[in-house]
């Protein structure tokens, strides 16, 4: 939608060029009655789409074809003089700085968050899931593609089927693997780092036979499975989804919910078409992340140490 200002108020510097990847280049306009020529919009623009020739000039659109509609120009303008067609009325909101948590609060929630695999029977309200998705959609994305889409699975028979299809896939993988798959992990034991080799094959056998016996070691009887998917032809989709997952995880924690990353399910979705087909995943899309969600049955009382950060300062 093109934002229309009264023509006399607008100094239009518009160039419509060749279409961007998925839509036509956006329109950016400046309200010269409001603009103070501070130049922040041009300075903050990551793609040098906007320029300000000198301190006495209004900003201009110099390279609309490289605009990724990140909205930095709109968000940074102190006098609301920048109008970008991707950000119509109602899509720009003043930041409430007093609501932003302190560094101690951020670090405490990051440390307090653990994978929750024991869920209470309390039903999860739709509004809670919506808020978790709201946090996820604000994660950064490569070239501001906002590629991540979501599927919320709550139907119990569907959840059960997903766990079973995952178990079937995992069994197929280990039966085709010539050697036992092993994995080396490092664990902190009494302050010392210990190297541990895990036999993934036997772990998978334990998980899959439990599922066959009605014990859900894949979805852990989570009442909600939140899947993150995207068109695989878009760039950075995996990284985009991972960042969305982490936002969702922290929001879930903040709302008293528990979550765990459903790596087995994501792996099965990647290696086999059964679950994507069951969920009618759009053509060309892949699942890049998954979270089991629900109200936790138990609460962790302590946070435990992690490996010290291995850092090289150069």
> Which residues sit at the interface with ligand FMN, rule CB under 6 A?
114-115, 117, 260-264
Residues recorded for the chain = 314
Any residues with CB less than 8 A from the CB of 199 and at least 6 apart, and which? 180, 181, 182
Q: Say if strands 192-199 and 182-189 run parallel, antiparallel, or are unpaired.
A: antiparallel
Q: Tell the smallest beta-carbon distance from residue 260 to ligand FMN (Å).
A: 5
Question: Could you tell me the two tokens for 74?
Answer: 């709109």
Q: Tell the smallest beta-carbon distance from residue 238 to ligand FMN (Å).
A: 11
- H-assigned helices in the chain: 40-44, 72-76, 103-112, 126-137, 156-176, 200-212, 237-254, 263-271, 274-278
Please identify the residue of the shown chain whose CB is closest to the bound ligand FMN.
263
Rounded to an integer, what distance in angstroms lies between the CA atom of residue 242 and that of residue 141? Answer: 10
- Closest by CA position to 29, among listed 72, 74, 63: 74
> Tokens 């709201």 label which residue?
134
Q: Tell the smallest beta-carbon distance from residue 301 to ligand FMN (Å).
A: 14
Residue (68 or 265) nearer to ligand FMN, CB: 265
Residue (197 or 314) nearer to ligand FMN, CB: 197
Residue (37 or 114) nearer to ligand FMN, CB: 114
Q: Tell the smallest beta-carbon distance from residue 101 to ligand FMN (Å).
A: 20
Q: Say if strands 60-61 and 50-51 run parallel, antiparallel, or are unpaired.
A: antiparallel
Q: Are 174 and 204 in contact (CB under 8 A)?
A: yes
Rounded to an integer, what distance in angstroms lies between the CA atom of residue 63 and that of residue 43? Answer: 14
Residue (219 or 281) nearer to ligand FMN, CB: 219
Q: Tell the smallest beta-carbon distance from residue 185 to ligand FMN (Å).
A: 9
Residue (53 or 212) nearer to ligand FMN, CB: 212
Q: Tell the smallest beta-carbon distance from residue 245 to ligand FMN (Å).
A: 8
Residue (276 or 289) nearer to ligand FMN, CB: 289
């Amino acid at each position: 939608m093109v934002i229309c200002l009264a023509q006399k108020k607008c100094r239009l510097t518009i160039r419509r060029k060749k279409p961007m990847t998925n839509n036509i280049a956006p329109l950016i306009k400046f309200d010269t009655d409001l603009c103070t020529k501070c130049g922040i919009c041009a300075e903050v623009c990551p793609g040098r789409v906007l320029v300000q020739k000198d301190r006495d000039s209004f900003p201009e659109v110099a390279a609309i074809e490289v605009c990724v509609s990140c909205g930095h120009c709109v968000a940074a303008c102190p006098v609301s003089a920048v109008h970008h067609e991707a950000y119509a009325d109602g899509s720009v909101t003043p930041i409430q700085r007093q609501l932003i948590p302190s560094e101690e609060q951020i670090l405490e929630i990051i440390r307090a968050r653990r994978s929750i695999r024991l869920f209470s029977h309390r039903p999860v309200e739709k509004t809670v899931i919506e808020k978790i998705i709201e946090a996820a959609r604000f994660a950064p994305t490569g070239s501001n593609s906002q590629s991540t889409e979501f599927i919320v699975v709550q139907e119990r028979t569907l959840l059960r089927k997903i766990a079973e299809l995952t178990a079937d896939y995992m069994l197929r993988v280990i039966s085709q693997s010539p050697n036992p798959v092993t994995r080396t992990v490092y664990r902190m034991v009494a302050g010392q780092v210990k190297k541990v080799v895990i036999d993934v094959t036997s772990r998978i056998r334990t998980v899959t036979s439990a599922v066959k016996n009605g014990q859900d070691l894949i979805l852990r009887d989570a009442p909600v499975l939140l899947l993150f998917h995207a068109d695989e032809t878009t760039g950075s989709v995996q990284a985009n989804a991972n960042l969305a997952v982490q936002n969702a995880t922290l929001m879930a924690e903040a709302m008293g919910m528990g979550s765990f990353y459903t790596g087995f399910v994501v792996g099965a979705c990647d290696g086999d078409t059964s679950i994507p087909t069951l969920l009618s995943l759009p053509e060309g899309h892949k699942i890049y992340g998954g979270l089991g969600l629900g109200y936790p049955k138990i609460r962790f009382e302590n946070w435990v140490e992690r490996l010290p950060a291995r850092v090289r300062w150069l």
